[in-house]
């Protein structure tokens, strides 16, 4: 079983749709949680850190459930430019290595 | 600088040749990380540094791979006697580390290594 599991997709959604991605992690010692996006084998770019209380940044909302070891990302009002692979990423503490899920591919269409 | 810089962008080597990759972290960041991304989006952690000291080398293959971060020089990752399976994109990332509340890592553009 992988340490960080994601549905690989692809998710094909029309512009304006709301889409949700889920992720589970197996290491209960995990302390830091992130969503990164990666375009066409370019570098991963930090989308948002995920806090226990949940957090929102514009159209993006992230939630963390430590008891279930589950992380989610909600994208509202999808744009064409949101098309990318979304990586669920977990760390065990300050300056620890990151463990990546295999990513969920999103394709937003007209 | 304000971004992680990596050179070269692309590197092609014949099997058995040496490959050396470079990374300059964001100015003021104390930690440097190397990751390898192969097909199917699999990221593998290789090694991390706190300034010039090895912090975590649990992902580093024992043979053929070595890395350094020396003062006033870019960090480097060297692969001796490359093999076909070393073909991948190698990403460097940096983070502030101590004093940073959340350990966010910022990635460079990567070096695509192709071993023929």
Q: Which long-range contacts (CB under 8 A, 24 or more apart) does B40-49 make?
A: B40/A102, B41/A38, B41/A85, B41/A87, B41/A100, B41/A102, B41/A103, B42/A100, B42/A102, B43/A87, B43/A98, B43/A100, B43/B91, B45/A97, B45/A98, B45/A99, B46/B77, B46/B90, B47/B77, B48/A95, B48/A97, B49/B75
Is B102's pLDDT higher than 70? no
What's the DSSP call for residue A7? -
Distance CA A25, CA B112 (A): 29
Between residues 77 and 106 of chain A, which touch chain B (CB distance below 8 Å)?
85, 87, 91, 93-100, 102-103
Residue-level pLDDT at B62: 86
Residue-level pLDDT at A40: 87
Q: Who contacts B68 (Cβ-Cβ below 8 Å, separation ≥6)?
A: B52, B75, B76
Residue-level pLDDT at A95: 82
* Digit-coded pLDDT (tens) for B36-82: 999 767 899 999 999 999 999 999 998 999 999 999 899 999 999 99
- Say yes or no for a CB contact (<8 Å) between B91 and A102: no
CA distance B12 to chain A (A): 17
- Nearest chain B alpha carbon to A102: B41
What's the pLDDT band for B101 if we cut at 50, 70, 90?
A: low
Q: Who contacts B87 (Cβ-Cβ below 8 Å, separation ≥6)?
A: B38, B113, B114, B115
Chain B contact set for A44 (CB, 8 A): 91, 107
- Say yes or no for a CB contact (<8 Å) between B108 and A97: no
Residue-level pLDDT at A55: 92
Chain B contact set for A33 (CB, 8 A): none
* Digit-coded pLDDT (tens) for A48-105: 999 888 899 999 999 999 999 999 999 999 999 999 999 999 998 778 899 999 999 9
- Say yes or no for a CB contact (<8 Å) between A96 and B56: yes
The minimal CB distance from B43 to the residues A32, A94, A100 is found for A100
* Digit-coded pLDDT (tens) for A15-57: 999 999 999 999 999 999 999 999 987 999 999 999 888 899 9
- Say yes or no for a CB contact (<8 Å) between B104 and A42: no
Is residue A19 within 8 A of residue A78, CB to CB? The reply is: yes
Mean pLDDT (chain B) is 93
CA distance B3 to chain A (A): 12
CA distance B88 to chain A (A): 11
* Digit-coded pLDDT (tens) for B72-91: 899 999 999 999 999 999 99
Residue-level pLDDT at B35: 98
Token pair for A91: 């760390």
- Nearest chain B alpha carbon to A35: B104
């Amino acid at each position: 079983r992988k340490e960080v599991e994601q549905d690989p997709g692809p998710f094909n959604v029309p512009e304006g749709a709301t889409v949700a991605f889920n992720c589970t992690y197996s290491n209960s010692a995990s302390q830091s949680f992130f969503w990164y996006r990666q375009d066409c084998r370019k570098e991963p770019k930090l989308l948002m850190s995920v806090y226990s209380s949940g957090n929102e940044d514009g159209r993006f909302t992230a939630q963390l459930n430590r008891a279930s070891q589950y992380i989610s990302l909600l994208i509202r009002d999808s744009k064409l430019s949101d098309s990318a692979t979304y990586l669920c990423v977990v760390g065990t503490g300050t300056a620890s290595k990151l463990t990546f899920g295999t990513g969920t591919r999103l394709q937003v269409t007209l | 600088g304000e971004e992680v810089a990596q050179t070269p962008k692309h590197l092609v080597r014949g099997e058995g040749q040496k490959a050396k990759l470079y990374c300059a972290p964001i100015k003021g960041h104390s930690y440097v990380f190397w990751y390898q991304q192969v097909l199917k989006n699999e990221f593998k952690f290789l090694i991390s540094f706190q300034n010039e000291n090895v912090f975590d080398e649990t992902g580093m293959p024992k043979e053929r791979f070595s890395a350094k971060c020396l003062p006033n020089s870019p960090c480097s990752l060297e692969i001796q006697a490359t093999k076909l399976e070393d073909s991948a994109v190698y990403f460097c990332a940096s983070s502030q580390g101590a004093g940073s509340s959340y350990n966010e890592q910022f990635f460079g553009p990567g070096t695509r290594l192709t071993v023929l």
